[in-house]
Amino acid sequence: MAIRISPQAAVLPANTLRFYLYFPRPAEAHFDRAHLWLLNEEEQEVHDPFLVLSQELWSVDGRRLTVLMEPGRIKRGLGADPSHEPALVVGRTYSLVVTALGQTARHTFRVSNPVLEAIDETHWRLASPTTGSLESVVVHFGRIMDAALCEDEIAVLTPSGKVIQTRTSLAPDGTTARLTPNHPWPAGKHRLVVSERLEDVCGNRVGEALDHDLGTGGPPRAGMINFTTRSIIAPPSAQTVS
């Protein structure tokens, strides 16, 4: 297995907050931060784009490393010092490159405008599965989401509040999630719920933008979408939040 970099989208917002490095085996003892680079289209290294921590953010199994962008390089109004200039410039192309475990992984992407708005689940579209099937619930977010948080912070409940066991996967472009059940879908209404910890790749949450003015907006909140499984004879349809 090869090292994998997330997000995998070909176009990322200028205020992308974090990247994940997935390793085929525990890599904490083998990883060297000096072997992680952000390169521009001229293959020149971008200086100090990442937040330096006293302890790296490894998953419990040592296979996933969270790499945070330097906040001063993505948030507005943090000073006129040249070190606060954006690490990712809109319209330019960059490559994140990492070497570890005898492998080199590279993800090249173009930079789009920053996403500065809070997540609003009423803008999502949801495609319901068929009753009695193992089809996925498909959620279209309309923005690039944080893959690791999508896996942990989205669930499906029955009307009585019972959790339906599902597996969540995010499309390579990061804008669509598929929740696949472990057992066939029961008939009736269901609730897709997300916690207040869910974020997009820019750190925006439901009801709260990361880069917001103090005293404006509210705290992050949980979100919910109601959906009903389709009968076998019903044609597929996309639902919006109800």
Alpha-carbon distance 104 to 75, whole Å? 30
CATH code for the domain of 40: 2.60.40.1220
Cβ 128 vs Cβ 138: under 8 Å = no
Tell me the per-residue pLDDT of 18-54, one tens digit each, with 9 for 90 and over.
999 999 999 998 899 999 999 999 999 999 999 999 9
Q: Are 46 and 26 in contact (CB under 8 A)?
A: no
Phi and psi of 231, rounded to 5°?
Answer: -75, 160
40 and 139 in a single domain? The answer is no
Whether 98 and 173 share a structural domain: no
**Domain residue limits at 25:** 4-112
Same domain, 178 and 149: yes
Is residue 134 located within the same domain as residue 212?
A: yes
Model pTM score: 0.87
Q: Is residue 77 domain-shared with residue 129, that is, in the same domain?
A: no
- In this structure, which amino acid lies at residue 213? D
Among 94, 112, 130, the domain-final residue is 112
Residue 84 predicted with pLDDT over 80: no
Number of domains in the chain: 2
End-to-end CA distance of the chain: 42
- What confidence category does residue 71 fall into, taking pLDDT thresholds of 50, 70 and 90? confident
> Percent of the chain, pLDDT > 70?
88
pLDDT class for 79, splitting at 50, 70, 90? very low
Q: Is the domain of 223 the same as that of 171? A: yes
Domain boundary pick from 112, 132, 151? 112
The mean pLDDT value for 176-200 works out to 96
Boundary (domain end) residue, out of 83, 112, 141: 112
Tokens 């010092």 belong to 81
Claim to verify: residue 128 and residue 231 sit in the same structural domain: yes
